[in-house]
Structure 1
Amino acid sequence: MGLLEEIHRPEDVRSLGSSQLPELAADIREFLVAAVSKTGGHIGPNLGVVELTLALHRVFESPRDLLLFDTGHQAYVHKLLTGRRAGFDRLRQRGGTSGYPSQAESEHDVIENSHASTALSYADGLAKARQLLGDDGRVVAVVGDGAMTGGMSWEALNNIAAGEDRPVVIVLNDNGRSYSPTIGGFASHLAALRPGADAGETAATAPQTLFENLGLAYIGPVDGHDLTALEETLKTARSLERPVVVHCVTKKGQGFAPAENHAEDCFHGPGAFDPVTGESKASATSWTEVFGSELVKIGAERSDVVALTAAMLHPTGLAEFAEAHPDRVFDVGIAEQHAVTSAAGLALGGLHPVVAVYATFLNRAFDQVLMDVALHRLPVTFALDRSGVTGSDGPSHNGMWDLSMLQLVPGLRIAAPRDGARLRELLREAVDVSDAPTAIRYPKGPVAADLDAVGKCGAMDVLSRHRGLGNTGYDAEDVLLIGVGSMAGVCVEAGRLIAAQGLGVTVVDPRWVKPLDSAIADLARQHRLVVVVEDNGRVGAVGDAVVRLLRDADIDMPVRTFGVPQEFLEHASRSEILADIGLNAQSLARTITPLVQRSSAADRDDDRSMPLHV
């Protein structure tokens, strides 16, 4: 690793001579490619900010000067320069370095900023706090041009510009991309500033910019890979006693040819890859790919189906649809709120929009789902990728709120497929709904093997039945297991383990979890205990909906719900986290079996307890 081995804190970077910096930059790139190729992670964004991060740490003094990264996936170099090299052998894995800034890791990480377009608002508040407290340390926000497509960035700029005597340094990392090429009028404005610009060009000679029109100082554009120019420019920005934008032009994936040359930007956040060729090591078909391929087929059959993405065309599986129907895909930038209301407009205009978004990012657009789509009973389908526990991306990326949040929305219907076949079926059913919004949620990673039903109960699939040893044919069975989405297969295995103890078990998949099928009530009457298992926070989700359904049907039935605890889960693999929180077959069987035995004993003694809802 050469010079990188000698870097343990920002002071070590500042002590180097200028002639040593290119060697350190090369060491960092070599280290990042080697480390991330093994674990996966955001390699492209970080290769593009090597020189920029070095310059930031040479000009500013973290943690006295606050460095904020938006989004935080471009902070790997920052982590290396602040003493966290050892954790990269387990990057995004349990016990290793987080993929985003983490206050628990270092005093140099101010915010855990993995949802884009927020750093400028943090910076505005921090600068106001420092001014009131008499602290003259600088607040520096590193913001990608992709993050500038989000509305919060402009709300924050409006306030930052009003503080003429409140210094905030906004470092605009302009690489022309978010996941994909940055779109919109602002991207065009930045592009117009780049051609022919000299490194270190100042506001006095640059074309008039939108930032200057807002009342902000502007410096640039500066070559984001020229360390000398970067340092000089950042020193100038630091000396100003007012808000300033430093426009740095960088190249995503700089120094690693496969990442530089890949037009589809598969190196934004890949899984494990070959460090020489860049070839992916992934082989299994993903849930995302199943969704994407089926939507292409639907699009070929129905000209009214259109798709929207918030700057995530490839990650959400819409690239194939865009290739087949380029005029029917709309990338709105990192602007989930706008995406949802724009979809509402498309639906009002007679089309059926499919909004493909990570489940965690739908949180940002709840008001628009509720008031702009559902209030008007519009046929918009939300395809919620990465639902449930996602694991390696850490607490902010777990899609553990959508089932609770969307339960509140009148008229909206939610589907949760258990496997690829059901994803295809339910997607088609969702886009066939013409009088209400729909949502379909599916997890991250390889798609589950198809699990066929052994029967039907109403619209629900019965996945397995095991008669209890003591059942003469007239008695109620012991437990009804309701497996939601990806938890259905886990429930089948748990049911087999419970049945091995001589207990009667029925496992069902509701398919549609809002509204619930009324047949659940009839089926519950045939059992002594109802168990709901879901890959979502337990509060207000499907388990609570089942309790309400049974209560409304005057069924006094013990119900036990299993789901994700209402806490922010640290990064680890999905399987590790599911095991930790008891959402695997073995844990479920160990917990449910004594509950069933207790419930059966109480039933035999005709001493039914109050409903158990834990």
Structure 2
Amino acid sequence: MLEQLSSPAELRRLPAGAMDALAGEIRRKLVESVSRTGGHLGPNLGVVELTLALHRVFESPRDAIVWDTGHQSYVHKLLTGRQDFDRLRHAGGLSGYPSRAESEHDLVENSHASTALSYADGLAKAFALRQENDRAVVAVVGDGALTGGMCWEALNNLGAADRPVVVVLNDNGRSYSPTVGGVAAHLAELRDGCGTSLFDQLGFHYLGPIDGHHTAALEAALRSARAYGRPVVVHCLTSKGKGHADAEADLVDHMHTIGPAGKSASSVGWTDIMAEELVAIADERPDVVGITAAMLHPTGLHQFARKFSDRVYDVGIAEQHAVTSAAGLATGGMHPVVCVYATFLNRAFDQLLMDVALHRLPVTFVLDRAGITGNDGPSHHGMWDLSLLGTVPGMRVAAPRDGSSLRALLREAVSWDGPSALRFPKGSASADIAAIGHLGRGDLLRGGLGGDTLLLPVGPCAHAALQAADRLDEAVTVADPRWVLPIDPALVRAAGNFRLVVTIEDNGVAGGFGDTYARALREAGCRTPVRTLALRQEFLAHGDRGTQLSEQCLDADGIIAAVSRRNDGADILPYDRYIGEPASVKVLRGR
């Protein structure tokens, strides 16, 4: 049946009695495809019947269905004409999240959690203003995402209005990890049939709990919700990983996301080294505490929690709260280490700026998955953190080139008496590179304190810089800044001893290390030209990390091409070469 479905309309024509068999086909398709390509397996196995019911009751895209987080949208893709999963999350294949470029059924690309209810509020207002009162608005939100503050801001507005928004609460007791806090406790009471729903108190009509794996029951509840004409919460109980024994039994969510051939895609390499060193530091420093936002295992903080359970706090999907809570801990004499993905730091920038930095508090931010992350696509590339952190007074940012420097820099960060951050990429840590000397706070990796060209790579970009230097004829010095922000005055002074400086970073070109360094040289009156190699300031698609770095000229070939260009009088590579012009890669390479 699945292969014959090209649209939700065809699904609605199938008899109700066919749904169980179709659900079985979908689960087999998911396990087979995702085990081969990698991707989010557990969340999608848990919403098979729910997605079937949604598309049988509502008429997408006329009716708006918004998926919170979006990593559970694979079934939705299968039912809306996208069954070619052969290159799922790989370049040229389907995205692992809703994608407006793929289908009219994907309204928003909201792969950061806790946003769907706000989208739904706005959509319902728009439909009312346009007098399109026959269009339904549905937001599918998980119990984990419900721990995020934006959800409650939206619920506060939705419940007080008469607009007919259907909130489908997909309650499996988990986000990436088990759901935490008072929300989890209240939902547990509702599952047990105890007490009045908080949603009723907020102005919603509450339906549930409903068996989230019983298609007929789900359809009946959703039809009632649609007909009600007011805000409704449909509370659906589902099992993450349903139908796959390993995924259902997975208590630490290794099956939330899997790599090809079913291998766990949870933290490896860089994350493991950081986690191990943080535990060693915590052994020595009783004031060091850990904080994460529903990412205990992915950020490696579970190792800390295993040994010091009373010194680790998982606050749920609430990055803003995590940062200001860290500020409170620091004010109280502790040194918090906030472990988040680099992309999620964006969500708490105001708190970092006004609650941590304004008070010059000793909080260390460990930014996992910085730079190109690969298969998760534009919402997950950690390409904004250096640009944001560079605007924060008193902030220090370190970027380790390898495992050994990660350990050293983490210790330096935690010893700092103000705000600091440590950024590193996804995947296996780079091979150690020994320093041959020092340049200010940085390490000399090749060459001396003068010559033709100075390469300043950020973090693991050092490997590509050394490869390029070895292939170039000119006298090339490679120096790892280690602490990339603020700019080390020694790096500014050193620039005058070279014909050219090239900075290399996997952050957006605007406001990153290269931009900041070039400004420092101008302010110092240094006329040595700077060429900035960085990520184009655009939303980059999903694909292999190595390939994407090459396409962005952040490999040895790209560095060689940048060095080989004669000075054209510009301090940095023209900004417009990075804006909406894919051909700039070829131009820079001289092809």
TM-score, length basis structure 1: 0.91
1:299 & 1:182 partners in 2: Cα distance? Answer: 26
* More displaced stretch, 560-569 vs 11-20: 11-20
1:270 shift after superposition: 2.1
State the partner residue of 2:249: 261
Q: Would you say 1:298 and 2:269 are equivalent positions? A: no
CA contact (8 A) 1:387 1:399 kept: yes
1:544 & 1:288 partners in 2: Cα distance? Answer: 28
State the partner residue of 1:534: 505
Q: Give a deviation string over 1:505-540, Cα, whole Å, max 9, x none.
A: 100000001122211123211101111111100111
The one-letter code sitting in structure 2 at the alignment partner of 1:226 is H
1:90 shift after superposition: 0.6
Q: How does 1:473-492 map to 2 (within 5 A)?
A: 477-492=451-466
The one-letter code sitting in structure 2 at the alignment partner of 1:110 is L
2:554 & 2:115 partners in 1: Cα distance? Answer: 33
State the partner residue of 1:372: 355
2:467 equivalent among 489, 493, 511: 493
1:122 & 1:89 partners in 2: Cα distance? Answer: 31
Q: Give a deviation string over 1:73-128, Cα, whole Å, max 9, x none.
A: 01000000001111x11110011110000000000000001000000000000000
SS at match of 1:89: coil
1:610 & 1:302 partners in 2: Cα distance? Answer: 48
State the partner residue of 2:446: 464
- Structure number with greater Rg is 1
1:281 to 1:570, Cα distance in 2 relative to 1, 3 A: closer
CA contact (8 A) 2:254 2:265 kept: no
CA contact (8 A) 1:273 1:280 kept: no
State the partner residue of 1:122: 119
Q: How does 1:125-140 map to 2 (within 5 A)?
A: 125-135=122-132, 136-140=134-138
1:612 shift after superposition: 4.6
2:200 & 2:235 partners in 1: Cα distance? Answer: 12
1:39 & 1:561 partners in 2: Cα distance? Answer: 34
1:147 to 1:612, Cα distance in 2 relative to 1, 3 A: closer
CA contact (8 A) 1:556 1:610 kept: no
State the partner residue of 1:347: 330
Q: How does 1:73-152 map to 2 (within 5 A)?
A: 73-86=71-84, 88-135=85-132, 136-152=134-150
Q: Would you say 1:310 and 2:293 are equivalent positions? A: yes
Q: Give a deviation string over 1:208-232, Cα, whole Å, max 9, x none.
A: 1100001111100001001111111
State the partner residue of 1:202: none
1:438 shift after superposition: 0.4
Q: How does 1:389-428 map to 2 (within 5 A)?
A: 389-428=372-411
1:610 & 1:228 partners in 2: Cα distance? Answer: 66
2:44 & 2:259 partners in 1: Cα distance? Answer: 15
1:34 equivalent among 32, 35, 49: 32
1:554 shift after superposition: 1.7
State the partner residue of 1:577: 548
1:349 shift after superposition: 0.8
2:18 equivalent among 20, 26, 34: 20
1:613 shift after superposition: 4.7
The one-letter code sitting in structure 1 at the alignment partner of 2:100 is Q
1:391 shift after superposition: 1.7
Q: Would you say 1:238 and 2:242 are equivalent positions? A: no
1:4 shift after superposition: 1.4
Q: Would you say 1:159 and 2:157 are equivalent positions? A: yes
The one-letter code sitting in structure 1 at the alignment partner of 2:231 is P
Q: Would you say 1:252 and 2:240 are equivalent positions? A: yes
1:591 shift after superposition: 2.9
Q: Structure 2 unaligned segments of length 5 or more: list them.
A: 575-591
1:273 shift after superposition: 3.6
State the partner residue of 2:583: none
Q: Would you say 1:442 and 2:413 are equivalent positions? A: no
2:182 equivalent among 185, 203, 223: 185
1:578 shift after superposition: 0.9
2:187 & 2:265 partners in 1: Cα distance? Answer: 36
CA contact (8 A) 2:518 2:572 kept: no
TM-score, length basis structure 2: 0.95
SS at match of 2:343: helix
2:304 equivalent among 321, 325, 349: 321
2:181 & 2:264 partners in 1: Cα distance? Answer: 31
CA contact (8 A) 2:46 2:240 kept: yes
The one-letter code sitting in structure 1 at the alignment partner of 2:95 is S
The one-letter code sitting in structure 2 at the alignment partner of 1:152 is M
The one-letter code sitting in structure 1 at the alignment partner of 2:222 is L
CA contact (8 A) 2:509 2:532 kept: yes
2:519 equivalent among 537, 548, 556: 548
SS at match of 2:387: helix
1:309 & 1:345 partners in 2: Cα distance? Answer: 15
1:557 shift after superposition: 1.4
* More displaced stretch, 522-531 vs 402-411: 522-531
1:466 to 1:4, Cα distance in 2 relative to 1, 3 A: farther
State the partner residue of 2:199: 211
2:92 & 2:280 partners in 1: Cα distance? Answer: 43
CA contact (8 A) 2:518 2:571 kept: no
1:557 equivalent among 507, 512, 528: 528
The one-letter code sitting in structure 2 at the alignment partner of 1:297 is A
Q: How does 1:272-283 map to 2 (within 5 A)?
A: 272-274=260-262, 280=264
SS at match of 1:190: helix
Q: Give a deviation string over 1:6-42, Cα, whole Å, max 9, x none.
A: 1211112111112211111011111101111112111
What number of residue pairs does the alignment pair up? 573
The one-letter code sitting in structure 1 at the alignment partner of 2:493 is D
SS at match of 1:79: helix
1:561 shift after superposition: 0.5
Q: Structure 1 unaligned segments of length 5 or more: list them.
A: 198-205, 468-475, 600-608
2:511 & 2:411 partners in 1: Cα distance? Answer: 27
